[in-house]
């Protein structure tokens, strides 16, 4: 397949995360087409905007923006018309809907979603907790966790835990090691949501082989033996089933998809916990 490319300019007066996510989600729907991303975060002055416009003039393409200052947005749109670059305010349709429904106007505050409020510090606290409890560390205070991830080696436990921490969930992950029983306290915990992560033996072997290759280590051990890996996964499945812990197969899931499923499970878990 011949792949084509286009320039995608993402202009934000904040971190640019919203635009990056929207742009990538939309571009991913077009096979054979890739975006050359130009990301411009924290654009809050006319001088900064002129530098952005200069780059757009050098490489015209689609322009998405989240600027709240009217003078900046008008200047950007004027420049885009001059270069023939389609331009769109990503948040404007949402603002119009909210204004119509709420009957009030928004207050222009660049980066308002990143203010240092209680939610922000909750995420920082969750991140600190998660990093301190990575790979089975500090098992004595597991009841303080919001989520506990269990799985054999290379089931994406750590990156998933960090992603969940960024969503404000204190997460610990515990590896399931052949011949080593998991902490007995797990079967008595009520507050944390315990989730088992599994993957196909083929996927696990592939990841482990790549891991050993990067470490220049010997790959003849049972660590990458297909039958041994299949047995590890089967054993973990029995553990999860015995304790009625929800299971997520991460074989074909991205970290974001796995985390989204866990967030949904955690919401249901908290409702049951509160009801009890």
Annotated binding site for ADP: 151-158
The two three-digit tokens of residue 33, written as one number: 């087409």
Known binding-site residues equal: 151-158
- Contact, 8 vs 27, CB < 8 A? yes
- One DSSP character per residue, 239-251 reads HHHHHT--EEE-T
**What single-letter DSSP state applies at residue 115?**
-
Q: Exposed e or buried b for every residue in 127-148, given b needs 16+ CB within 10 A?
A: bebbeebbebeeeeebeebbbb
Nearest Cα to Cα of residue 155 among 226, 232, 76, 84: 232
Q: Which residues contact 3 (CB under 8 A, 6 or more apart)?
A: 32, 33, 34
Give the chain's radius of gyration (CA, Å): 24
- Contact, 142 vs 183, CB < 8 A? yes
What three-state secondary structure class fits 104?
A: coil
Other C-beta atoms closer than 10 Å to the C-beta of 266 total 20
């Amino acid at each position: 397949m011949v792949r084509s490319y286009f320039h995608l300019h993402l202009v934000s007066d904040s971190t640019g995360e919203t635009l990056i996510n929207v742009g990538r989600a939309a571009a991913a729907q077009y096979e054979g087409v890739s975006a050359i991303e130009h990301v411009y975060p924290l654009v809050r002055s006319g001088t900064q905007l002129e530098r952005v416009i200069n780059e757009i003039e050098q490489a015209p393409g689609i322009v998405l923006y989240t600027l709240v200052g009217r003078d900046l947005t008008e200047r950007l749109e004027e420049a885009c018309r001059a270069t023939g670059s389609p331009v769109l305010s990503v948040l404007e349709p949402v603002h119009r809907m909210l204004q119509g429904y709420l009957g009030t106007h928004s207050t222009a505050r660049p980066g308002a979603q990143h203010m240092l409020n209680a939610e922000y510090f909750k995420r920082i606290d969750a991140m600190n907790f998660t990093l301190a409890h990575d790979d089975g560390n500090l098992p004595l205070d597991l009841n303080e966790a919001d989520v506990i991830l269990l799985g054999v080696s290379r089931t994406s436990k750590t990156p998933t835990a960090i992603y969940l921490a960024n969503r404000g969930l204190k997460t610990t992950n515990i590896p399931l090691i052949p011949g080593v029983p998991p902490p007995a306290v797990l079967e008595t915990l009520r507050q944390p949501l315990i989730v088992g992560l599994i993957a196909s033996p083929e996927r696990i072997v592939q990841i482990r082989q790549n891991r050993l290759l990067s470490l220049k280590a010997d790959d003849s051990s049972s660590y990458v033996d297909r039958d041994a890996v299949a047995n590890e996964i089967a054993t973990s499945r029995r553990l999860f089933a015995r304790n009625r812990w929800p299971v997520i197969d991460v074989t074909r899931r991205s970290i974001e998809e796995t985390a989204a499923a866990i967030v949904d499970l955690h919401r249901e878990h908290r409702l049951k916990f509160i009801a009890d």
